[in-house]
Structure 1
Amino acid sequence: MQHGLEAAKRQGRTGGRPPVVDDDKRRAILARRDEGQSIRQISRGTGVSVGVVHRVVTENVDDDSGPCSELAHPATSTSVS
């Protein structure tokens, strides 16, 4: 089995499942989230699963200034009740 994988690699082939979200879809997901859409709304609108949308949103939270910052730090949210 290993020889087949090595031969495929030499031919420039890669294995595994192709990614569900490309750069365009990632930008669309993040733009919809910035507009305030829920994860479920984004999922329906983009045709990807709720889990994939959640992963994209949480992977792209790089600071505490955006509307998605509560996902990264729910206990430190500064919203007033």
Structure 2
Amino acid sequence: MSRYRNLALFLGLAAVWGSAFMAIKAGLSEFPPVLFAALRYDIAGVFMLAYAAVRADRWLPADRRQWAAVGVGAALLIA
């Protein structure tokens, strides 16, 4: 990557990351905190699933062992 492209990507990331605090402040005035956090995670999950579906050849777990790992990871993420 060129130096200018890296700088542009960094500035874009900083803008998106910084705007998250303003979005959280605005969202908390409309929704209860737990519901707002759940909505944020749901929206992020949809984007991550779409990204995985586009980038990976096989994005679904292949066997029971992989499904178990996904289930344990999901349970630990929520807990």
| Same topology, TM > 0.5 | no
Which has more helix, going by share of residues?
2
Give the TM-score taking structure 2 as reference length.
0.27
Q: Return the structure number with greater relative CO, CA threshold 8 A, min gap 6.
A: 1
Higher Cα Rg, which structure? 1
Give the TM-score taking structure 1 as reference length.
0.26
